[in-house]
Amino acid sequence: MADQSLDRPLVTVPRAHVRRSLWEGEPLVALAFLLPSLVLLGIFVFYPLVYVVYLSLLKWDLITPATTIGLKNYGALLHDPYFLQALQVTVIISLASIVITLPCGFLTHYLTMLQFVQQGLQAVFDKQQDPASAMQQVATRVNGILQQ
C-alpha cells in the first residue's frame, strides 16, 4: 500500500482574500448603485459645463440671433484690464491664504502633539516603574487622548 500521508500537505495555509473586480460579481447591482449619482452628476455638472463652454464661443445679446465667433471672447478677456486686475487679486488672495493657513496648521499640530507627549511623559515620571510598562502607559494614554 502506498503511503497516503504524502498526498496531502503537512500544513494547510488559508488562502489570502482575493479582491474581486467590480464587474466579476454583480455588475447590474453595481450599475444600479452608480447610475443615479452618475445621472445627477451629468445633469448638474457636466451638461452645464459643456453648455457654458459652448456659449462662450458665441456672440449673443439675447435679442439678436447668436453668431459663432470662436475664441475671440477669450482674446478680449485677456486684454480686459478689469479681468487682469481680478485675476491678480485672486492669485494674491490664494497665495496669502496658503502662506497663512499652512504654517498655522503645522504649528497647531506641533503644539498638540507636544502636549500629548508631555502628558504621557509626566504620567510615566510621576511613578517609578519599569520601562516596558511605562511605554505601554504612554501609548495607552496618547491613544485615549487621540480617540476623544
All three cell numbers of 73, joined, read: 471672447
All three cell numbers of 32, joined, read: 444600479
C-alpha 20/C-alpha 4 separation (Å) is 35
Write down the pLDDT at residue 55. 94
Query: For 114-133, what is each residue's pLDDT tens digit?
Result: 777 776 666 666 666 667 77
C-alpha 79/C-alpha 107 separation (Å) is 42
Q: Is 65's pLDDT higher than 60?
A: yes
Query: For 74-118, what is each residue's pLDDT tens digit?
Result: 999 999 999 999 999 999 999 999 999 999 999 888 888 777 777
Which residues have CB under 8 Å from 139's CB, separation 6+? 120
Query: For 8-48, what is each residue's pLDDT tens digit?
Result: 655 565 665 556 665 566 778 888 899 999 999 999 999 99
Write down the pLDDT at residue 31. 86
Write down the pLDDT at residue 128. 61
Three-class secondary structure of residue 23 per DSSP:
coil
